[in-house]
Amino acid sequence: MGFQKGFLWGGAVAAHQLEGGFDKGGKGLSVADVMTAGAHGVPRRITDGIMPGENYPNHEAIDFYGRYKEDIALFAEMGFKCFRTSINWPRIFPNGDETVPNEEGLKFYDDMFDELLKHGIEPVITLSHFEMPYGLFKKYGGWRDRSVIDCFARYAETVFRRYKDKVKYWMTFNEINNQMNLKNPIFAWTNSGIQFKEGEDRKEVIYQAAHNELVASALAVKIGHGINPDFKIGCMVSFHPVYPFTSNPEDTLLALHTIHDRIFFTDVHCRGHYPAYALKEWEREGYDIKMEPGDAKILEEGTVDYIGFSYYMSDTVKSGAEGENKDLVTGSHVSVKNPFLQASDWGWAIDPVGLRNALIMLHERYEKPMFIVENGLGAVDVIEEDGNINDDYRINYLRSHIEQMEKAITHDGVELMGYTPWGCIDLVSFTTGEMKKRYGFIYVDKDNEGKGTLDRSKKKSFDWYKKVIESNGEIL
């Protein structure tokens, strides 16, 4: 028997990608609210405030804000044990630096958590999933400025106190490590509220922001445990195993170096201090990362309880390959096509065994419980004439990944708490801003232009996943 009793089967979303109601209930703007829709090959842009006539897909999203009861009932029908979402930070502190929270925003999450608990679904909550208040972005330049640490700590303390009897599982920053992808600015905007300036060393800027975020995360862990010692507070990173393209030792060395950019954040979150390779890099590059005397102690005392991570794909690197496959960029290196793997319509390598590799690597490095809080296949769904959506490709993707999870538990001794496939209900894609890149078990009638009834319907994968949960992963 692979999956433990009480295994947290569920689904994952993020507030800014499904709630909509971007200006309802006293909410302020987030950075995500000023990001335009992109499309295949057309990157998303960030605008200086809201511009009339622009398409901001997050503003309505799928209106979970107005329809959460209906959606939660569908999750309950699938048998969800947990539901991962985020609190939209500017719903609570509209500009980010107020001292008094917005009661209407707090009330929304009270009601939503009550609805989940009524159905026996455990909320799993991310404090910051790309919803940095626009006010902090404008006033402080986001996480460049350590003043944001206090704002975040106040926000974390407010929601920890308010929901201490409703929420047990928390995560601090979603995919905190994606901002090391210096070539796609979307991650710096949303992870850190940073717009790069002409001539600055992007990596140094990100390391400074990272330091401020890591201190804020550790502070939140300490504050949370003080409020409720039963809280389980994790980090959240995007994890791709990195393979050497050949057995050339130079490729293996490159793979080891590439993984540093991904693993740096987890190293600090889990071990409570900076890894030697980062300190050497700072010295070598002349980076001046500003820290205060108490920071090291906070990092040491605020290590996480578990590792939450997303897994979509693996990367493959080849020495001397800079310039090949420019669209596959990971960290500061270039990933090449892996001849053993197929890719999704969006070019993401499909690699179920890579998930097992990731679990083994993270388990052996940190010996902490793990939680796969995102995994899934973004695909274009077709509604058949009879109204059905036969998403066998999605079922196959998820099945093959769950099989590898089971092997990692039974054979490799990995401790896995739960599994929440991404986008359990169709929502706005983060990297593209599209609706047509769908992940859900539940279809939402809305297209890329924002048209549609927003009606919900079940895809074939809905009943499949229901059986998976019912059988605790025995029937796949």
Helices (H), 12-102: 15-18, 64-78, 89-92
384 is catalytic: no
| Residue 231 neighbours by CB distance under 10 Å | 18
Kindly state the tokens that stand for 297.
Answer: 């102690």
Q: How far is CA 166 from the centre of its chain?
A: 22
- Min. distance of Cβ 324 from ligand BGP in angstroms? 23
Kindly state the tokens that stand for 150.
Answer: 């206090």
**Diameter over CA atoms, the chain:** 66
**Which residue number, 207 or 430, has a Cβ lying nearer to ligand BGP?**
430
- Min. distance of Cβ 83 from ligand BGP in angstroms? 15
Kindly state the tokens that stand for 319.
Answer: 């020495």
- Min. distance of Cβ 62 from ligand BGP in angstroms? 13
* 14 contributes a contact to ligand BGP by CB under 6 A: yes
Give the type of residue at 452.
G
Tell me the three state secondary structure of residue 18. helix
Find the helix or strand (DSSP H, E) in which 127 lies.
strand 122-128
Q: Is the dihedral of CA 323, 329, 333, 334 positive or negative?
A: negative
- Out of 128, 179, 266, 310, the only residue in the binding site for ligand BGP (CB under 6 A) is 310
- Cβ(157)–Cβ(227) below 8 Å: yes
Sequence-separated (6 or more) residues with CB below 8 Å from residue 408: 355, 356, 359, 360, 363, 414, 416
Closest CA to 132 of 146, 123, 143, 124: 143
Separation between Cα atoms, residue 157 and residue 162, nearest integer Å: 8
Of the listed pieces 24-32, 61-69, 222-230, 426-434, which binds ligand BGP according to CB under 6 A? Answer: 426-434
Distances 287 to 33, 74, 290 between C-alpha atoms, Å: 32, 50, 9
Report which DSSP code applies to 474: S
Separation between Cα atoms, residue 476 and residue 455, nearest integer Å: 28
* 175 contributes a contact to ligand BGP by CB under 6 A: yes
Q: Is the dihedral of CA 23, 28, 30, 35 positive or negative?
A: positive
Beta strands 442-444 and 456-458 are antiparallel
- Min. distance of Cβ 436 from ligand BGP in angstroms? 11
- Min. distance of Cβ 338 from ligand BGP in angstroms? 19
Of the listed pieces 98-106, 315-323, 395-403, 428-436, which binds ligand BGP according to CB under 6 A? Answer: 428-436
Catalytic residue among 374, 384, 403, 474: 374
Of the listed pieces 111-119, 240-248, 295-303, 423-431, which binds ligand BGP according to CB under 6 A? Answer: 423-431
- Min. distance of Cβ 17 from ligand BGP in angstroms? 6
Of the listed pieces 41-49, 145-153, 198-206, 424-432, which binds ligand BGP according to CB under 6 A? Answer: 424-432
Site string for ligand BGP, 104-143 (x = CB under 6 A): ----------------------------------------
**Which residue number, 82 or 106, has a Cβ lying nearer to ligand BGP?**
82
Return the residues of window 430-459 that contact ligand BGP according to CB under 6 A: 430-432, 437
Return the residues of window 361-390 that contact ligand BGP according to CB under 6 A: 374, 378
- Min. distance of Cβ 416 from ligand BGP in angstroms? 19
Q: Is the dihedral of CA 107, 111, 117, 122 positive or negative?
A: negative
**Which residue number, 266 or 429, has a Cβ lying nearer to ligand BGP?**
429
- Min. distance of Cβ 312 from ligand BGP in angstroms? 7
Find the helix or strand (DSSP H, E) in which 310 lies.
strand 306-310
**Which residue number, 212 or 429, has a Cβ lying nearer to ligand BGP?**
429
- Out of 422, 443, 462, 464, the only residue in the binding site for ligand BGP (CB under 6 A) is 422
Give the type of residue at 458.
K
* 38 contributes a contact to ligand BGP by CB under 6 A: no
Of the listed pieces 96-104, 224-232, 247-255, 422-430, which binds ligand BGP according to CB under 6 A? Answer: 422-430
**Which residue number, 102 or 191, has a Cβ lying nearer to ligand BGP?**
191
Return the residues of window 199-238 that contact ligand BGP according to CB under 6 A: 238
Kindly state the tokens that stand for 218.
Answer: 């550790």
Contact set with ligand BGP (CB under 6 A)? 14, 17, 174-175, 238, 310, 374, 378, 422, 429-432, 437
List residues with catalytic annotation.
374
